[in-house]
Amino acid sequence: MCNEVAHKHPAAAFILTIHYPADAFKWTHSDKPEEAIETYAVSSKPWKLRSRCKLCGVCVASFNTKEPKWSVWGAQMDRDEDGKIKHWDIVKPTHHIFYGTRMLDIEDGLPKWEGYADVSARLG
C-alpha cells in the first residue's frame, strides 16, 4: 500500500507532514507494528528515528527524541476510494514549518516558519 499511495500522490510527501506529541501517536495497521515496520537512527541526527516499511522500504514516519514528537508524511495517510486523505478536517495543515528549506513556494495564506511554529522566526 505505501508505494501505491506515494506514486499516486508524490507531492503530498513534500507538502504535508503531520506532527504529533508522542502520547498522541500510535500505529494502527497492526497489533505488532514491529513485524511490518523497521526503525533506524539517522546517522547525522541520532535523535531522529525513522520508521520504514519492511516490505517496500518507504519511510512512513519519524520520531524526534528531543521534542518528543512523531512526524508522519501526508503521502502515507489513509485515503478514501477517491484518493483523498481521510479525516482531512482533523489533519489539514495549519501552518508551514521549515519553510526556509522548502522545495517550492506555497501561496495558501497559512503562516510560514523557519523551524517549528511559535519557537522560530516567522517567515510569512
Tens digit of pLDDT per residue, the chain (124 long)?
344 443 444 444 345 778 888 998 888 776 787 888 899 998 999 999 999 988 888 888 999 999 899 998 877 788 899 988 888 888 888 898 889 988 888 888 999 999 888 999 999 8
Please tell me the distance from the alpha carbon of residue 67 to that of residue 85, in angstroms, as a whole number: 26
Q: Report if residue 28 sits inside a domain.
A: no
Q: Report if residue 40 sits inside a domain.
A: yes
What residue numbers bound the domain in which 68 lies? 1-13+35-75
Q: Report if residue 1 sits inside a domain.
A: yes
Q: Report if residue 65 sits inside a domain.
A: yes
Give every CB contact of residue 21 below 8 A, 6+ residues apart in sequence: 68, 69, 70
Q: Report if residue 98 sits inside a domain.
A: no
Instruction: Mark 64-96 as b/e (b = at least 16 C-beta within 10 Å).
Output: beeeebbbbbbbbbebeeeeebeeeeebeeeeb
Q: Report if residue 80 sits inside a domain.
A: no
